[in-house]
Structure 1
Amino acid sequence: MTSTLDPVTAPQIPAQRRPAPPAGATGRALPPRRLRSSRPDLLLCGVLLLAILVVQGWNISAYPALSDDEGTYLAQAWAVQEGRGLAHYTYWYDHPPLGWIQLAVLTWIPALLSPESMTVGTMRAVMLLISGISAVLVYVLGRRLALPRWAAGLGMALFGLSPLSVVLQREIFLDNLAVMWTLLAFTLAASPSRHLWHHFGAGMAAATAVLTKETMLLVLPALFVTAWRHSHQDTRKFALTGAVTACALIGFSYPLFALLKGELLPGAGHVSLWDGVKYQMTRPGSGFILDQGSGSWNVLQSWLYYDRILPLGGLAGALLLLATWRWSVTARALAGPALAVAILAALALRPDGYLPAMYVIQALPFLALVLAGGAASIAHAVLRRGRSGKERRATVYGRYTLAVALALAACAYAGPRWYDGTRIAVTTDANAPYEAASRWMAEKVPDPARTRVLVDDAMWLDLVHAGYEPGLGVIWFYKADLDPAVTRTMPKGWRDIDYVVASPTVRRDAKDLPNVKAAIEHSRPVAVFGTGEDRIEIRKIATAGGER
């Protein structure tokens, strides 16, 4: 495999004889052409991949706690598998459906073999496939951005083994799928062979990422910067035009779908894409991320609880790379990832924007690559030898000693923090209350098929498999107030409900949902699982004429 070259000492090739990609004139190192033919690369990538899969897979169903978002995406995937449409309730254009269509494909065989296994905890296992592919793409992208082998491995380890990654990449989030497609787009855009079809493929992968999670639109400028830097000068305009065109044509399929269904614009008696976009753009903000006590501040603290090194170190490194772009070879090589980090950080810093907990997932691969690139720059500066033999002999031991000292100091700082975060992820059972509540509802309720119960989506599929009627028997609690198709079946409001499974999510959001709030107020707990704020209460509704 071609080794990376120092642009200062690399021999200059005459312009008329210089093969693509050039090494000296562009100021960047020559990336490897055939990564798959390099045994050291394959060995290092394989070992790291095995470590990532073991750490992320260990205790995957028990930690972190099941979330309503995970349940929603999986329930929508189940609806696609069952031929019930694009969602388990009315599809209202909250997100493009391609994300959970992919989940439906990924979970189809397990669900076919064992239908009762189509639950959030069990189906988290399919996310290991997504995490593994994304981790490999981080390594390949690092090598194509001219990182040395060890630095690309460091980036892969940061991305896959950070406690923040271990927790968030386990969960069934659309963001994890979108990151995989985004990394594929960057990898194709940075292809050293510079084939035109690679840039067309990058545009197609980028569009797939956006249709998986629409917020990936934010990193498209960084993708096109990468494509510009790695395209051949003679065909650059054609290649980028092809990439943009491919991305746009596939992306426009979503509004075209809404148009053909008559749901592009608002109207009486139907949902619309316009209303879905309007909701996403105008939803209540969670406050400024640096205001203590705001929702965004709490989200930031939850990220830093697991790992401070990757978010803060990566952000500082990205800003430094952008500031030194004109004269730093590393900064130019990593311009795309650094720009992606800067864009995502700028959006998170909006004064009153909405910041979900899974937002950082989109930045994780770029933070890892920027940190790895910074480590490579420091190592190069420390270990670079002088031109004379006398200088080399005088400094080599001191430079290696300094490099080892810096590496040990970094490990001493990061090691205990990563150990604590990872230990929590692989030993804690946060979902025992959910499992116990699900068993109670399956075993203690006399006639599930005729019982109506409000639950969050994390438990929705569990109760479907237990015999409750999908949609109208077991009801995603939001729909009891927000979906006319459900409220029409509840002429008496909360009195038409038998039970409420009051999870933390249900109790938190009930204040804005009159039927759910009234159902909780007019019920009594018959079983409680867990303690404190994380407890799950099974509450039986009491009507005016007595208990049901």
Structure 2
Amino acid sequence: MQGPEQQQRSAPEKSEQTPAPTLPITPPVPTRPAETPRPGAEEKLDPGNVTLYRNNRFFVHAVVPDSHRRNIQQAGGNTSLLEQIRWISAEQLRVSKIKTRLLPRIELFNPAQKNAVPIPLWLEGLVVLVLLSLGLGVHAFNMFNYPQYGPDEGAYMANAWAIIHSHLQPYPYTYDHPPLGWIQLAIWTLLTGGFFSFETAINSGRVLMLLLGIASGLLVYLITRRLSGSRSAGLLAMTIYTLSPLSVTYQREILLDNIGTFWLLLSVFFVVRGNSRLRNIVFSALALGIAILSKEIFLVFIPVMLYGVWLFATRFQRKFALVAFCYIVLSLSSAYALLAILKGELLPTGLLPGDTHAHPSLLGTLLQQVQYVPNMGDFATSWNTWIRLDQPLFIAGGIALVINIAGGWWNRLQWLMALFFISYWVLLLSIQNIFPYSILPLLPLLGMNIALALDIPLKALSKRAGFDLARASLLFLLLGALIPLNIQRANPQFSQNTAEPQRQALLWINRNAPISSIIIINSYLYTDLHETGGMGVGRGLPYTQAQIYWNAAFDPEIHNTLLHDCWNRIDYLVVDAQMQSDIQTRGGPMLLLDRALHRSVLRAQFDAASGDAQSRIQVYQVLHDATSCN
């Protein structure tokens, strides 16, 4: 094989010798030695020297033995040693006169700088390990106490409990999210010895979030290092991501966003490190499909991932790589819709003939999610929370976005990270229900965008100076200032204990409430009251009649069958600030719980040491009336 430009530059007198062919077993004697070819007579001497395929990037060239050699090879008979030596000498002379050429030097894409300071692999690994250990310690410290257990955390752990007991959810599956996220939680609990290996079910899930967060930080480092060609830029991106107060707060919580973010970063890593290998494209597509099945919002990244595959695939592989990537991602993601089709719950009740039984539906749930639900979450409230926790991150991220968009005209890799950032930001602005934890998939993108944008002027500085030491030194100085600043801003995460009232409520139920009691609770108490060994159960029988308040109000099976639409059948209500607000303000089916709350007496109250009313848990016992609901 040879390059077209090298064909034109090659001259017969500058030919390179090729190794002699393998000695035949019984070579015949050539009648005469090969003649030295004259300039311009190559085609006559070797008419089998042909180009099989050619385009503007490469060609396939083959040398076929001429008829004289074929006649020699087809001849038979025994030969003496002297005749074999004469044949070898003649063949070496013939081959040496045939013009041979080398392939053009082709290097795989690698943005690493040629003038970078050489760093041993062990030293790089040691620095990364130190920073990851620092992030591990920051995230792990006080993570069982702050933040307080959230309803989403309790719901996902309750769903994981249901998976182990052969159900998708404790209540009828409503298609609010794909089930793969809490299936992973269920697998984690089986691998770690159950839900209560770390005292409570939510503590167990938070340990998994800790490991996923550190793994995501490592992926951020590897991706940024590949895109920028700079180890120091990778360390900066990893530090920004892992030590941001937003990360320290929300990465501790059991959220589908945390699970999906890890799989998204793994998908990006396989693309940028794949060197256009098909197996890496397949792995990337599988990882993105798992991210989508963990939480549906990761569908928004499919166009950007296709652009990344196009960038990192060689030109003659691009069409096949894009088709393979799309096919795998869409096939895997369609399992969510296939589940609804198999259960006959794709369309809302009444759209199909004979479909009169009320049931949840995938399309019906999607329509409800795109509609505005008051008091469920809004962008303004979430934005204020983000700015309060880490305003410098958003300022630096906005400046970095502008730099990367401008720099993308010269380096398309900067466009890749900028498009990731823009895609998710457009999603946040287009949907109505935005919660503070919705920022989680954006945090690694912010870190990588900032590191890539900052690397541009520092790379120019290092070129002018003639070495990379100046750039690495400046980035390490920035790291030294960033680490203590972020830790100081995250001080409440290390000192407050807002989850203790919730654990105290579990202990009170275990010691005071009869097993047969109908208890209305928030979701974070569900698993600990339904599984033997939980803090609310101990080694006794579980509270099978403990019901999440939202389902007690809106699930017909609980509202009408178990409670018979009667407040008098409720025995206890374990109320927090959000639950009390929902019961008193939402009306409708919540009126049942509101009546029970107004006919109950406060039996216990648990407060955090800080005195925050949002962390308060109150236990009410309903005063039964024999004449009610008759």
TM-score, structure 1 normalization: 0.84
Q: Which residue of 1 aligns with 2:30?
A: none
- 1:242 positional shift: 0.5
Q: Does 1:509 align with 2:582?
A: yes
Q: Does 1:247 align with 2:329?
A: yes
CA distance in 1, matches of 2:599, 2:461: 69
Q: Which residue of 1 aligns with 2:135?
A: 52
Choose from 192, 196, 202 the match for 1:110: 192
CA distance in 2, matches of 1:408, 1:41: 17
CA distance in 2, matches of 1:442, 1:323: 61
Instruction: Give 1:250-261 correspondences, 5 Å limit.
Output: 250-261=332-343
CA distance in 1, matches of 2:465, 2:113: 22
Question: Judging changes above 3 Å, is the alpha-carbon distance between structure 1 residues 147 and 300 closer, same or farther for their aligned structure 2 residues?
Answer: farther
Question: Judging changes above 3 Å, is the alpha-carbon distance between structure 1 residues 409 and 169 closer, same or farther for their aligned structure 2 residues?
Answer: closer
Structure 1 runs, 4 residues or longer, greater than 6 Å off: 402-407, 468-471
Q: Which residue of 2 aligns with 1:540?
A: 621
* Aligned AA (2:597): I
Structure (1 or 2) with the larger CA radius of gyration: 2
Question: SS in structure 1 opposite 2:623?
Answer: strand
Between 267-276 and 294-303, report the one with greater CA deviation: 294-303
* Aligned AA (2:138): V
Instruction: Give 1:429-508 correspondences, 5 Å limit.
Output: 429-445=497-513, 447=514, 449-464=515-530, 465=534, 466-467=536-537, 473-487=545-559, 488-508=561-581
Q: Which residue of 2 aligns with 1:11?
A: none
Question: Judging changes above 3 Å, is the alpha-carbon distance between structure 1 residues 471 and 485 closer, same or farther for their aligned structure 2 residues?
Answer: farther
Question: Judging changes above 3 Å, is the alpha-carbon distance between structure 1 residues 482 and 182 closer, same or farther for their aligned structure 2 residues?
Answer: same
Contact 1:199 1:243 in 2 (8 A): yes
Question: SS in structure 2 opposite 1:353?
Answer: coil
Q: Which residue of 2 aligns with 1:21?
A: 108
Task: Work out which structure has the larger RCO, using CA pairs closer than 8 Å and 6 or more positions apart in sequence.
Answer: 1
Q: Which residue of 2 aligns with 1:188?
A: 270
Q: Does 1:275 align with 2:341?
A: no
Contact 1:21 1:192 in 2 (8 A): no
Choose from 511, 526, 530 the match for 2:603: 526
CA distance in 2, matches of 1:423, 1:441: 33
Q: Does 1:334 align with 2:414?
A: yes
Q: Which residue of 2 aligns with 1:265?
A: 347
- 1:18 positional shift: 4.0
CA distance in 1, matches of 2:332, 2:143: 34
CA distance in 2, matches of 1:158, 1:353: 28
Q: Which residue of 2 aligns with 1:80?
A: 163
Contact 2:263 2:288 in 1 (8 A): yes
Q: Which residue of 2 aligns with 1:311?
A: 394
Q: Which residue of 2 aligns with 1:425?
A: 493
Choose from 210, 225, 239 the match for 1:128: 210
CA distance in 1, matches of 2:203, 2:519: 21
Contact 1:56 1:128 in 2 (8 A): yes
CA distance in 2, matches of 1:216, 1:59: 30
- 1:471 positional shift: 8.2
- 1:37 positional shift: 9.2
CA distance in 2, matches of 1:51, 1:254: 38
- 1:521 positional shift: 2.4
Contact 2:518 2:569 in 1 (8 A): yes
Contact 2:575 2:617 in 1 (8 A): yes
Q: Which residue of 1 aligns with 2:181?
A: 99
Q: Does 1:164 align with 2:243?
A: no
Question: SS in structure 2 opposite 1:525?
Answer: strand
* Aligned AA (1:529): F
* Aligned AA (1:264): L
Q: Does 1:344 align with 2:424?
A: yes
Question: SS in structure 2 opposite 1:491?
Answer: coil
Aligned alpha-carbon RMSD (Å): 3.1
Question: Judging changes above 3 Å, is the alpha-carbon distance between structure 1 residues 125 and 145 closer, same or farther for their aligned structure 2 residues?
Answer: same
Question: SS in structure 2 opposite 1:334?
Answer: helix
Question: Judging changes above 3 Å, is the alpha-carbon distance between structure 1 residues 471 and 440 closer, same or farther for their aligned structure 2 residues?
Answer: closer
CA distance in 1, matches of 2:427, 2:138: 31
Question: Judging changes above 3 Å, is the alpha-carbon distance between structure 1 residues 245 and 57 closer, same or farther for their aligned structure 2 residues?
Answer: same
* Aligned AA (2:574): V
Between 518-527 and 367-376, report the one with greater CA deviation: 518-527
CA distance in 2, matches of 1:496, 1:443: 21
* Aligned AA (1:481): A
Q: Which residue of 2 aligns with 1:3?
A: none
Q: Which residue of 2 aligns with 1:219?
A: 301
* Aligned AA (1:523): S
Question: SS in structure 1 opposite 2:502?
Answer: helix
Contact 2:209 2:252 in 1 (8 A): yes
* Aligned AA (2:525): M
TM-score, structure 2 normalization: 0.74
Question: Judging changes above 3 Å, is the alpha-carbon distance between structure 1 residues 358 and 116 closer, same or farther for their aligned structure 2 residues?
Answer: closer
* Aligned AA (1:280): Q
CA distance in 2, matches of 1:174, 1:226: 24
Q: Which residue of 2 aligns with 1:368?
A: 447
CA distance in 2, matches of 1:225, 1:416: 37
Q: Does 1:384 align with 2:456?
A: no
Contact 1:144 1:192 in 2 (8 A): no
Question: Judging changes above 3 Å, is the alpha-carbon distance between structure 1 residues 477 and 308 closer, same or farther for their aligned structure 2 residues?
Answer: same
User: Unaligned regions of 5+ residues in structure 1, if any?
Assistant: 1-13, 288-293
Question: SS in structure 1 opposite 2:228?
Answer: coil
Contact 2:246 2:390 in 1 (8 A): yes
Q: Hey, which of these two has a bigger chunk of helix by percent?
A: 1
- 1:546 positional shift: 9.5
CA distance in 2, matches of 1:403, 1:86: 50
Question: Judging changes above 3 Å, is the alpha-carbon distance between structure 1 residues 420 and 298 closer, same or farther for their aligned structure 2 residues?
Answer: farther
CA distance in 1, matches of 2:157, 2:473: 47
CA distance in 2, matches of 1:211, 1:341: 21
CA distance in 2, matches of 1:214, 1:307: 27
Q: Which residue of 1 aligns with 2:235?
A: 153
CA distance in 2, matches of 1:361, 1:247: 22
Q: Deviations over 1:388-428 (max 9, x none)?
A: xxxx9xxx9xx95x99789768865x566523333221222
Contact 2:138 2:243 in 1 (8 A): yes
CA distance in 2, matches of 1:243, 1:124: 32
Between 352-361 and 107-116, report the one with greater CA deviation: 107-116
Contact 1:111 1:117 in 2 (8 A): no
CA distance in 1, matches of 2:529, 2:441: 32
CA distance in 2, matches of 1:90, 1:22: 50
Question: SS in structure 2 opposite 1:385?
Answer: helix
Q: Deviations over 1:95-153 (max 9, x none)?
A: 00000001100111334385794521343112222112211111111122134001101
- 1:311 positional shift: 3.1
CA distance in 2, matches of 1:212, 1:526: 40
Paired residue total: 504
Q: Which residue of 1 aligns with 2:37?
A: none
Q: Deviations over 1:13-51 (max 9, x none)?
A: x9972424246xxxx5579xxxx9933332222222211
Q: Identity over aligned residues, as a percent?
A: 27
Q: Which residue of 2 aligns with 1:353?
A: 432
* Aligned AA (1:444): N
CA distance in 2, matches of 1:312, 1:369: 14
Between 53-62 and 103-112, report the one with greater CA deviation: 103-112
Contact 2:275 2:313 in 1 (8 A): no
Between 63-72 and 458-467, report the one with greater CA deviation: 458-467
Contact 1:107 1:126 in 2 (8 A): no
* Aligned AA (2:202): V
Question: SS in structure 2 opposite 1:337?
Answer: helix
Question: SS in structure 2 opposite 1:86?
Answer: coil
Contact 1:226 1:335 in 2 (8 A): no
